[in-house]
Each structure stands twice: as structure tokens, then as C-alpha cells.
Amino acid sequence: MSIKGFQGTSLLDFPGRVASLVFWGGCNLTCPFCHNPALVLDPNACPDLDADALLADLAERTPFIDGIVVSGGEPTLDPTLSDWLTRVKELGLAVKLDTNGLRPDVLSALLERGLVDVLAIDLKTSPDRYAELHTGPVDRDALIASIRQAMAAPVTVEFRTTCVPGVVNAPAIHALGQLIRGAPRWALQQYHPAPALDPAWREIAPYSAEKIADLATIARQYVQEVVVRGVV
């Protein structure tokens, strides 16, 4: 178990509902633009929360919250995640999973066990560029397998792309769009450079609102709904 913290948030796709956001440490990518570098580069610097104590805390909160958001880092790396979420579901709480989609076997097991109600998969760039997001090898086929599972899953699904200049451009949006054609929702987010994992990426100017609108126009060719978030 490698839970590093939690806080209140809104539960995506449960309008008006409230959730607790639970962070896992560690990741199988090292995206240079990552906004949670401490969780990725040095997860052991933060003490693990006790899983049983956190469940007891969540149980006390059930009159006030509707679910939890499982985020990170990359929570699917935790071999105890499935059992822990089983206990969360026994509390009657909904679960939203945020994942980079590189552990399709884990995702498959969670979906089969009915442990995910809302699934958000990050699409960083076109699959053939994922090697740029890590110091080690990246299995692009794993991402594609997770996308296929998500497209067939009987849960609420959202794909998300942070529009990082140099990583996300029109060809990348086309490549991703072809993979998720017909998906219910694709959220495009503006890049905010300040907390980036790689200091050099903190100097990259985000795309303008107009540029993101152009990317959204391309994305709308492929999916049912495109939402744009975080544009300033």
C-alpha cells in the first residue's frame, strides 16, 4: 500500500456530489511535465497512510461524501489496490479511477470486479511518442489495450489530454482521436508549467486559448463530446 494523502474534491460525473481524493505514490512514467513530481520521483519521502485507518476515516465520512477519487502517481501499481477498493465499495462509496492506462491487466480486473464507477484515462500524446515520457521502455500496446477496455466498459468514461506544447499537437490529436473514435467524452486541459517535474519544462509557455480551441475542433471529429478545462 502506498497511499500518500487525501483531501476533499468533487466527484467527476456525479454532479453535486462530494468525494475524497486519495493519492498513491510512485508511477511507471516520468512525464517531464508532471504536476506531481514529489509523488513520482521520491514517493518514499512521504510516509504511507495506514490503509485500515484511512478506511475507518472514510467510513466516518460516508454521511458527507459519495465516493473517492483514486489518483496519483499511478494507483494501479499498488498490488493491494483491488482488495482495498473492495472494502471501499463495501462502505457504499463510488470509485473514480484516474490512470495513465499502462496496466491493462489491473484495469481489467478492477472493472470485472465492479470496483470502478468512473474511469478517467490520460492520453499524453500519440502512442508512438510515449517513449519520450519515460527513462525506461514504455509499452504502447498496453495503453491501446486499456483504451479498448475503457471503450467497452459499462462505466462512465472520460479520456483526458493536457495540451502540452511540443507533446500535443494536431497530429497527436488525430492519432488519439482515431483510437477513441466514438468515445463519450474527451477533456482537453491547458498546460500549466509551474510545477513541472523537469525544470526545463517550467519555462514552456502554454498554448493560447485559441490554439486549444483549434485542437478541440479536431477532437470533436472523433468523439461525442469535447470539454476544455483550465484555460486562463
* Binding positions for ligand SF4, rule: CB under 6 A: 27, 29-31, 34, 36, 40, 72-74, 100
Report residue 223: phi and psi, to 5°: -125, 170
Q: Which one, 65 or 81, has the nearer CB to ligand SF4?
A: 81
Nearest to 164 by CA among 128, 187, 139, 188: 188
Instruction: Tell me the angle at which helices 81-90 and 51-61 cross, rounded to the nearest 10 degrees.
Output: 20
In whole angstroms, give the CA distance from residue 55 to residue 53. Answer: 5
Q: Which one, 20 or 76, has the nearer CB to ligand SF4?
A: 76
In sequence order, the 6+-apart residues with CB closer than 8 A to the CB of 142 are 101, 102, 103, 104
Query: Minimum distance between the CB of residue 202 and ligand SF4, rounded to whole angstroms?
Result: 14
Q: Which one, 134 or 174, has the nearer CB to ligand SF4?
A: 134
Query: Minimum distance between the CB of residue 80 and ligand SF4, rounded to whole angstroms?
Result: 19
**Location of C-alpha cell 519520450:** 132
Query: Minimum distance between the CB of residue 57 and ligand SF4, rounded to whole angstroms?
Result: 24
Which residues are paired to 156 by β-bridges?
118
Q: Which one, 65 or 127, has the nearer CB to ligand SF4?
A: 127
Query: Minimum distance between the CB of residue 72 and ligand SF4, rounded to whole angstroms?
Result: 5
Q: Which one, 31 or 119, has the nearer CB to ligand SF4?
A: 31
Within the chain, how many helices (H) and strands (E) appear? 7, 8
Element (H, E) at 217: helix 209-219
Query: Minimum distance between the CB of residue 27 and ligand SF4, rounded to whole angstroms?
Result: 3
